[in-house]
Amino acid sequence: MYVMTEEPIPNMTATDVKAYFSDKQTEKDLADAYAITHNKFWWVEDNEYDYEEGSPEHKTACAITDEWGTLMDEYKNKIFETLISEGITIPTTGQIKVLEPFMNRFGYIDCNGWWVKQEK
């Protein structure tokens, strides 16, 4: 079992991450970008439940979650483009099954919904 105990990339916004990866074009960079945004998305998504729905704090938390979710989906779709070019069909559900081998290529494993880089 793996529990994320610290916020992933606490001092970076989705805009910062997008800028950082904008000139990085390898599949490894894509896997890194996806892992980072995926983990951050699920970390910040939980913040929505800390506030009363409709409150200014809730609206802010939702906006942050949406920003990370949009970027995460952008990287996921780029991975899917790569996989499709390799002849892999992307299912509408259970997409982790096609993401997992791609992420494994670059040292990531799925640990209870968190992408964790394995040390060599």
4-25 pLDDT tens trace: 778 889 999 999 999 999 999 9
Rounded percentage of the chain residues whose pLDDT exceeds 90: 87
- How many domains, in total, are found in the chain? 1
Which token pair is 3? 């529990």
For residue range 22-44, what is the model confidence (pLDDT) as tens digits?
A: 999 999 999 999 999 999 999 99
Specify the pairing of strand 114-117 against strand 108-111.
antiparallel
Predicted TM-score (pTM) of this structure: 0.92
Domain span at 45: 26-117
Question: Does residue 16 lie in a domain region?
Answer: no
Q: Which range has the worst mean pLDDT, 36-40, 98-102, 108-112?
A: 108-112
Candidates 35, 40, 39, 57; CA nearest to 48 is 57
Residue 97 belongs to a domain = yes
Q: Is 81 part of any domain?
A: yes
